A and B are shown apart, each in its own frame.
Chain A
C-alpha cells in the first residue's frame, strides 16, 4: 500500500482555510482548498498510508452527499495531481 508525505522543502501557510504552498525548487505557488487542504494539514504530522488518507477524505468537508466511487476518484485525482506538482511524495 502506498504511503504519502508532504514533499520536503515546501513552505506551507494557511489563509482562510486554504493552504498556500510555495515550492522553492520550481518557484510555483499552489492554492489548495477543501479536503486537499485538510489532508495537507494532517500530512504535516508525518506520512500516512493511503487507506488512512481515504478514510479522512471520505469524512472531510467536501464529502457530504458524494458516493464512495466519486470520492475515491476525487482522492486519486488529488493525489496524482499533488505528486505531479511536487506537493506530495509517494513512498
Chain B
C-alpha cells in the first residue's frame, strides 16, 4: 500500500470539501457512536471488565515471549505450522511462497489489517496469484481500487449510490446487468458473486482477532461469516496476525470479546464469532488440510521495548476512530496509510518512520474522547504527546513553530519581561481592535482569522497590571 502520510494536510483539506465523503462520514459517525453508547449503558460492569482486561493484557505483554512460544507449541500439536516474520515484507514473502507451494491461482481473503501492513494483495498479484477479498467492505474497495479507510468498516467512505455504481460496472461479467439500489439487495448480489469465489479458492487467508496460547486456536469475529468460509473451504489455510494478538486462554479471550463488538459496532456480539482449531482433525466434517500461522512483528517489539508499549493492548475495534472529531471530519484516507484516526496516528509513525508521518501526532486537539472510549484503556493522547516530543527533538516540526515556542517559553520564564511585553502587546491590540471589538484580519494570525474573528483584548492593560494598581489604590 502506497504511503501517502506526508500529504496529510492537503489530503485533509480535500476531504473536507468532498461532499459525498462528508455525507458518508456523518452517517457512519451517528451509527457507531450512538450504538456503542447504548450497548455500554446496558452493561453495568463495563468499567470492571475494562480494567481487568487492561491488567490481563499488560501481563501478556510482560510475558509475550512465553505466550507466543506456548501458542506455537499448541499450534504444532494441532498439526499446524508457525512462521515468524520480523518485517511486513517478510510476512508477505512467506505467504506468497506458501501459496505458490500450494499451487494457488486464486486466494480467498478475510479482512486483515496486518495483511495491509504487508501489502499482501500487492505481493500476491505480483506473483501471479489472484486475491479475492471476501469481507464486503474490502470487496467494495477492491473493486474501487482503493485502500481501506476504517479498520473495521473499510468502505465506510462509500455512499450507497457509489456502491450501486461499482457493482453495476463490475458485475456485468457475471451476467448481472441490473442496477441494484436497495441495501439488502446489494448485499445479496455480493453474496452471490463471492460464493463462487469461496468455492474456487485454493488457499484461504485470514487475520485473527485473538490467538489462544493455551489451545493453539484463534478467534475470528465477522458479521458476514466470510472468515468462516475463507477458513474451512480451501485446502490450505493461512492466518496472519500481529504478535500482540495472543491471549493466555479462552476465559481471557471471552473477557475481551465482551468489550470488542460493543466497542466496534454496538453489537453485544458479532454475527459470527468463531473459534478455529487449525487443520481438520479426525472426525471433523470440514477444515483445511494444511494450516499455517504467520506471526508478524513489524516494529511491535520496538513498541514493546519503549514508551509506546500500551499501544499493544489495541485489538483494533475502531472505537477511537469513530469518536475522533478529526477522523470524523476527514475520513481515513487522509491519514495516508493502513491505520487512521487516533490509533493510526500512534502506530503509523512507528511503522513507516516518524519522519514520514510527522503531522499525524499533531493532528489532534488532545480532547481525550478516544481514551475515554478505548475498551483497553490505551492513553492515546499521552502516546501522541510522546511522538510530539520525538518530532520536537528531531526538529520535524516547522521552524516557525519551534521558534515561536522557544520565544514564548523564554518570555514565560522571565516574569518581569513577560509582564512588560504582554502589556505592550495588549495595548497595541486593544487600540487597534477597540472600535469593533474584534479583528477580521491580523498579521501573523492568518490561521485563526481565515475562518474566525479574533476578539480584541478587553482593555489596554493586562490583568496583572490592573491587579497591581488596584492593590495600590484599593
Are A and B a genuine interacting pair, yes or no?
no
Binding site for B on A (CB under 8 A): none
Binding site for A on B (CB under 8 A): none
